[in-house]
């Protein structure tokens, strides 16, 4: 829908309502239980003070939005298989967050929110790469070079230890 979330700032309230209505009809056709919440997120209709389900129910209660939904339904919606996109994953994770919050499953909600943040690149990730090599994976020249490196002579210094006065041995 939007390549960059910064594009939402140029969309006015009327366009957001149209986007909401179109996405709501599409999501409902896909039998999504949280179609209104997904439509709110996609249209950029949010409120940090309210739960997304409250924002969605208020949006659905507006008469002008109901009229836009009827227009969108009348135009017909073709539901086709969608490719996996970042928005699809974010929408699915938002559905998980809402369901978990409704059931009081806060650890699940936290996990889904953390996954959303990772998907959006907001969390640092550490990747450990372990690599192992066995002798059978190396060619003969490399093995000979490794053995020659370990077998080279070690320089040893010959010395005589002389103990003098004050060394502690009396």
* CB neighbour list of residue 120: distance below 8 Å, 6 or more residues apart: 90
Distance CA 21, CA 28 (A): 10
Planar angle of CA 62, 68, 71, nearest 5 degrees = 145
Decide which of 82 and 95 is more confident.
95
pTM tops 0.85: no
Tell me: pLDDT of 119 over 90: no
Structure tokens at 34: 């949280």
DSSP helix/strand/coil, 45: coil
Distance CA 103, CA 93 (A): 15
Distance CA 102, CA 108 (A): 11
Backbone φ and ψ for 169, nearest 5 degrees, come out as -95, 105
* Confidence grade of residue 106 (pLDDT, cut at 50, 70, 90): very high
Domain ranges in the chain? 1-80
Q: pLDDT value at position 62?
A: 92
From residue 10, alpha-carbon distances to 2, 41, 44, 166 in Å are 11, 16, 11, 87
């Amino acid at each position: 829908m939007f390549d960059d979330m910064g594009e939402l700032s140029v969309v006015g309230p009327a366009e957001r309502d149209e986007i909401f209505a179109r996405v709501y009809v599409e999501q409902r056709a896909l039998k999504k239980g949280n179609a209104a919440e997904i439509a709110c997120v996609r249209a950029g209709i949010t409120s940090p003070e309210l739960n997304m389900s409250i924002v969605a129910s208020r949006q659905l209660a507006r008469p002008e939005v109901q009229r836009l939904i009827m227009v969108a339904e009348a135009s017909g919606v073709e539901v086709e298989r969608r490719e996996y996109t970042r928005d699809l994953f974010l929408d699915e994770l938002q559905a998980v967050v809402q369901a978990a919050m409704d059931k009081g499953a806060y650890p699940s909600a936290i996990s889904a929110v953390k996954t959303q943040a990772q998907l959006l690149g907001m969390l640092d990730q550490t990747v450990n790469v372990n690599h192992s090599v066995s002798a059978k994976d190396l060619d003969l020249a490399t093995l000979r070079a490794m053995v020659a490196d370990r077998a080279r002579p070690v320089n040893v210094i010959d010395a005589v230890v002389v103990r003098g006065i004050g060394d502690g041995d009396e």
